[in-house]
Structure 1
Amino acid sequence: MSNQELSLFHNDTAIHPLKEIAAYEKLWLGDTSFKKLANAFKNKKRPSMFINHIEYESVYSQVMEYMDSVRNYYNMSFIMNGMLDYPEKLRQAKDPVELLYFSGNIDLVNLKSVAIVGTRKPSHEGIRRTHQLVREFVKDNYVIVSGLAEGIDTVAHKSALHYNGITIGVIGTPLDQFYPKSNKDLQIAIAQNFLLISQVPFLKYKRQSIRGNRLFFPERNKTMSAISDATVIVEASDTSGTLIQARAALDQGRKLFILNSCFENRKISWPEKFESLGAIRVREFDDIRKNLNNL
């Protein structure tokens, strides 16, 4: 964390990283949400300004324990809105995340990137198309962003590694959790060699139910969309969480691409809806390339 202590400034005043993490985690133990926090921080306040010293001390030891648990796998850092190197892409989000935990090279967020997402239960054709997409994006020097979920996400990350590309994982759990557990080695590899990001408050996650923690996944999709120049949907049902990212991409002024095979699937109706809102139908990769070249 020493590099953070040197680089973390707010209004030209150095602040204590561990104190800000503890304060942020304490805020989450109350009645709050990403939207509420984004509104509260609009004037560029920092977490420690919202709590007193006693409240900060009450969770400090738990913050240290969490950092130790993450170190079992990789080094943890964090970045906060107001820091000089907070990604500009995130500032453009409708409700910017105030604090992100990460492991790896945060500068990768500033490279041109595309999120490839879709169902957790892809067809053989969906898997094949994902491989092809990643191959072409890597050729064009795009970073592959996805959510480390089962299915399309996993195929996208592994394909990026296969083609010697760069990949970023944006997860819906704290950094020391692995979901699904089958992706543990993949998550560690991404964290150690590229970039792994989480916006999930670990104390809140630890204390609330599985049902409550599911709400972090849609928020993760919004962040994934924000850090990407575009989102590509390979396959998804009408009830897929992927559609949350589709909405976020359009709301955030990002390109949204939908493979033509989705339009040909008569079991779903969402592709036409999003095309009417500005999404781009993809019949061949050049449909993506020419639109991204115009950015």
Structure 2
Amino acid sequence: MNPWPEFLANKPVDTRIEMGAYEYLWQQPNSNTKRLAELFEFHPGSLPSDLVDEDAAQRAAEEVVGHLAKRGIKRFGVRINGMHDYPARLRDATEPVEMLYFLGSWELAESPRRVAVVGTRQVSSEGAARTRKLVRALVEHDFTIVSGLAQGVDTIAHQTAIDCGGRTIAVIGTPISEVYPKENAELQRRIASGYLLVSQVPVLRYKAQGANVNRFFFPERNKTMSALSEATIIIEAGETSGTLTQARAALAQGRKLFILESNFRNPAISWPAKFEKQGAIRVREVEDILREFEDVPHAHA
């Protein structure tokens, strides 16, 4: 049952107040993604402003806008659960977020064939070459390349998509005002201005706490990246890689999960076989991906 349409028909929504209310909820002691998801599950059909005093929401909104302006961000967008432009597929996540920030063209989030290309930060030279080759082929077949703007595979995936004249979306693990890693500042600026940059990370909470706690936002964004995408492709990842968070999320969300064949041949890791048993698809050539999107006939050699 959807509690939204009738409810919203009788209530004007102030995006700024909703943003402030959501940020205020994140500022409360012990707030985290799981607890906030539970809070909204307990209050179905509620917007953030239904759970927060309006003055508190207004103050938080002013602080967010002021902070972003200091970082040179005067215009940005938000997507709030319950509004018509919030992507329903985000609700497939185990702990879905109520709000996203974005910079750039939101239309890309609705573009066809959104596939996440992800992998280790310490990518091998072979993994880097495989990433470039695969992304070039996917762009040729009109896929939108989604990744996390981290070092290694992510950076190569975004850059290759841009170089090939394709579309790319970055789902980052910091607020839209921050850059991580620092060497990707120019790439992030380019994606934010010409493509799409998405973040679920609360600005004020991030600003108030240290890097050691903020690192937990990275695996959370992997779950959101998977939910925004139709499929996830793993290029290369170690046994304890954060990439595996996204692999688990993709399978749990009913998304396709592709794993490059080279991972199965690596004796140092056992995760590829484990995920294949759970439904992941082994990729020996790009046709193995295209076939799942019905680009080539099943009889293809």
Q: What is the rounded CA distance, in whole Å, between the counterparts of 1:101 and 1:276 in structure 2? A: 36
Q: Is the Cα contact below 8 Å between 2:17 and 2:54 reproduced in 1?
A: no
1:17 aligned to which of 4, 15, 19: 15
Indicate whether 1:99 and 2:99 are aligned: yes
Give the C-alpha shift of residue 44 in structure 1. 2.2
Tell me the SS of whatever aligns to 1:200: coil
Say whether the 8 Å CA contact 2:105–2:196 is kept in structure 1: yes
Alpha carbons 1:115, 1:146 under 8 Å: kept: yes
Match of 1:252 in 2: 253
In structure 1, the residue corresponding to 2:117 is in which secondary structure?
strand
Q: Distance in 2 between matches of 1:169 and 1:69?
A: 22
Pair 1:275-2:270 in alignment: no
Please list, as runs of the form range in 1=range in 2, the aligned pairs for 1:105-254 lying within 5 A after superposition: 105-111=105-111, 112-254=113-255
* Aligned 8 A contact 1:90 1:227 in 2: yes
Structure 1 counterpart of 2:25 = 27
Q: Distance in 2 between matches of 1:74 and 1:193?
A: 16
Matched residue of 1:41: which SS?
helix
Q: Structure 2 length normalisation: TM-score?
A: 0.91
Are residues 1:67 and 2:65 paired? Answer: no
CA RMSD of aligned residues (A): 1.6
User: 2:84 corresponds to which residue?
Assistant: 84
Q: Is 1:75–1:104's contact at 8 Å kept on the other side of the alignment?
A: no
Which 10-residue stretch deviates more, 23-32 or 246-255?
23-32
Report the alpha carbon displacement of residue 95 of structure 1 after superposing the two structures with TM.
2.2
* Aligned AA (2:225): M
Q: Distance in 1 between matches of 2:59 and 2:189?
A: 30
- For 2:214 and 2:104, the matched residues in 1 are separated by 24
More divergent stretch after superposition (281-290 vs 233-242): 281-290
Corresponding letter in the other structure for 2:32: S
Q: Which runs of 4+ in 1 moved over 4 A?
A: none
How many corresponding residue pairs?
285
**Which residue identity is paired with 2:35?**
K
Letter in 1 for 2:75: N
- Structure 2 unmatched runs, 5+: 1-6, 296-301
**Amino acid paired to 2:87:** P
SS in 1 for 2:293: helix
Contact residue 168 and residue 196 of structure 1 kept, 8 A:
yes
Residue in structure 2 matched with residue 40 of structure 1 by the alignment? 39
Amino acid across the alignment from 2:242? G
Q: Judge which range, 83-92 or 147-156, deviates more.
A: 83-92
- For residue 38 of structure 1, what is the amino acid of its counterpart? A
Residues of 2 paired with 1:23 and 1:87: CA distance?
A: 20
1:224-280 Cα deviation digits (max 9, x unpaired): 000111100000000100000000000000000000100111111111111111111
Instruction: Give the aligned residue type for 1:83.
Output: M
Contact 1:74 1:188 in 2 (8 A): no
Measured in 1, the distance between the counterparts of 2:73 and 2:206 equals 19
Matched residue, 2:298: none
What is the distance in 2 between the residues matched to 1:195 and 1:141? 16
> Percent identical across equivalent pairs?
49
- Pairs within 5 Å for 1:259-270: 259-270=260-271
Distance in 2 between the 1:263 and 1:204 partners? 40
Q: Which amino acid aligns with 2:288?
A: D
The Cα shift of 1:48 comes to 1.1
SS of structure 1 residue aligned to 2:149: coil
1:139 & 1:256 partners in 2: Cα distance? Answer: 20
CA contact (8 A) 2:226 2:249 kept: yes
Partners of 1:117 and 1:234 within 8 A in 2: yes
In structure 2, relative to structure 1, the CA distance for the partners of 1:60 and 1:110 (3 Å cut) is closer
TM superposition score normalised by structure 1: 0.92
Q: 1:150 to 1:74 in 2, by over 3 A?
A: farther
